[in-house]
Amino acid sequence: MTDDDALARLREMQTADLPVHGGRTLAYVYDSGLPDVDRIGREAVAAYAGSNGLDPTAFPSLLQMENDLVGYTADLLDAPADAVGTVTSGGTESCLLAVQGARDSRPDVERPRMVVASTVHAAFLKAAHYFGVEAVVVPVGPDFRADAAAMLAAVDEDPDRTVLVVVSAPSYAHGVIDPVTEVAPAAAARGIRCHVDACIGGWVLPFAARIGRDVPPWTFAVDGVTSISVDTHKYAYAPKGTSVLMHRSPAHRRPQYFAHADWPGYTMLNSTIQSTKSGGPLAGAWAVVQSLGDAGYERLTREVFEAVDRIVAGVAAIPELTLVAVPDSTLVAFVTDDTCDAFTICDEMATREWYVQPQMSYAGQPPNVHLSVSAATLAHVDEFLAALAESVAAAVAVGPVGVDPGVAAFIETLDPATLSDDDFDGLLAASGLVGGGEGLALPDRMAEVNAMLDLASPAMREALLVAFLDRLARPNR
C-alpha cells in the first residue's frame, strides 16, 4: 500500500467501531465533548509514540511528565506530603500492581490472601490468579455497598495471611461508593493494607465534592487507605493507556519495583509490568490535564453530573424501569420489570445509535443496563431519554426475550471444566455465536445470545466466551 492508501484503509476499517466521540457510546470511552482536548491529546501521543519509558534517565521528559501527573493526582486524592505514585497503562495494571505490591510487602506470608467486596472489579480476581493470592470475596449489603462488618470478619478468620483489603469508589457495576471509613482504619488497626479502587471515580469525585455534591469520604484523608488507583484514561478524558497508582508513602510503593542485574544485558529496573513502554499515552494524559486544569475539570464535572441527574430522573419516569441504586458517581444501572428485558433494550438502543452495556444477572440480581455517562452526553440527554422510552416500548411490544428450552436444557448438562473443543463448537453454533460464510460473526441483535449466556453459570459464560474469542483471534494470512 502507499502511505495514503494505508491511512485511508485505517479510516475505513475504523467505521466498523463504536464512535469514541459524540457522547453516544456509554461504555468503554469517556468523551469530554471538546474537540481541542481530543486534538491536543492526539498530538501529544503522536509526538511521543516512539519514546521509551523504560529508562527515565534516557527520556527525562517522560519522568518530568510522570512526576507532574502524579503530583496533580496526589492533590486530588488528599495524599500526604510524602505520597508517591506511578503511571501505569490502565486500571487493570494499577489494580494488579496494588495486589502484587501488597503480596510482596509480606514475604513472611506463605499463602497470602486478600479480602475483597464482591463488587470489586474483575481486575482483582485477575491479580489473584496471576500472583497466587487467594481472593476471599465477601458479598456486599442490600445497597450494593461493601459490608464492612462482614469484610472485617473475613479478615479476622485469618489475619496473619491477609495482605490486603480492597473496596471501590465507586464500584463499576452499581456506581456506589463503599464505606471506606469503616474498612480502612480497621484494616490499619490490624496492620493490613487497604486499597481503594477509584479507577473510574477517582478523577471525577474530587471535583464533584468541590462543586458541592455530597461525596462520602474515600481518599487518603481516610486513615488506613494505603493505595488508590485512578484512571486518567477515563474521567480525566485523556487518550487510552494511562492510570495512576498512588501510594501513601515510598515504603508502600517499594515492593512494586522489579530490578534485575544478574544477567549479561542492561540492568532492568521497572516500576510497572511493562518494561519498554511508549511515552505516547503519558504525554497524551499530561497534555490533556495541562489543558483542562482544575477549571476545565470542574466544568466537565458539572456537565457530567447534570447529565447523570437528568438521566436518573428520566429513568425513574419510565414505569418499566427501576434504578439499581441511586448513583454516587457517573455510572447508572437500571433493571426492567417483567414486561420486557434489559438485553432487548440494549439492542433497541443500538438501532437508535446509542451504545449501552448489558450486565448479566449475578447473585440473585436480574440482568440490567449499565451507563458510563460522559460530559459529552449532556448535549444529547433529551435525545437519549427519547431513544430509551422508544426502546422500552419496542421491548415491551416483543415481550421478554426467551431461550429455546432445548438449548437451555443442554446448557444445564454441561460442565465447563470438561468440555472439549468440539462441544464448544456445537454450543457456539447452537447459541448463534457462529456466523456463516467467513466463520465467526456477532449477530446484529444480541438479546438471544445474551439471554442464553445469562442462563449459564459464570464459569460456563467464561468458557463459552473464551472459546468464542479464541476463534475470533486467528491470523489473517
Residues near ligand PLP (CB under 6 A) are 90-92, 95, 121, 123, 168, 172, 197, 199-200, 231
Nearer to ligand PLP, 92 or 359 (CB): 92
**CA–CA separation, 334 vs 4, rounded Å?**
45
Considering the complex, what minimum distance in angstroms separates the CB of residue 233 from ligand PLP? 6
How far apart are the two ends of the chain, measured CA to CA in Å?
A: 16
Nearer to ligand PLP, 172 or 384 (CB): 172
Cβ atoms < 10 Å from Cβ of 224: 20
**CA–CA separation, 314 vs 322, rounded Å?**
11
Considering the complex, what minimum distance in angstroms separates the CB of residue 18 from ligand PLP? 15
Considering the complex, what minimum distance in angstroms separates the CB of residue 197 from ligand PLP? 5
**Residues 278-313: b if buried by 16+ CB within 10 A, e if exposed:** bbbbbbbbbbbbebbeeebbbbbbbbbbebbebbbe
Nearer to ligand PLP, 168 or 391 (CB): 168
**Cα–Cα distances in angstroms (integers) from residue 146 to residues 66, 127, 151, 170, 229, in the given order:** 32, 20, 8, 11, 18
Nearer to ligand PLP, 44 or 123 (CB): 123
Considering the complex, what minimum distance in angstroms separates the CB of residue 174 from ligand PLP? 11
Nearer to ligand PLP, 31 or 197 (CB): 197
**CA–CA separation, 396 vs 424, rounded Å?**
33
Considering the complex, what minimum distance in angstroms separates the CB of residue 99 from ligand PLP? 12
For cell 458479598, name the residue.
139
Nearer to ligand PLP, 88 or 336 (CB): 88
**Cα–Cα distances in angstroms (integers) from residue 359 to residues 64, 366, 369, 454, in the given order:** 40, 9, 6, 9
Considering the complex, what minimum distance in angstroms separates the CB of residue 164 from ligand PLP? 15
**426 is written with which cell numbers?**
456445537
User: Residue with the closest Cβ to ligand PLP?
Assistant: 91
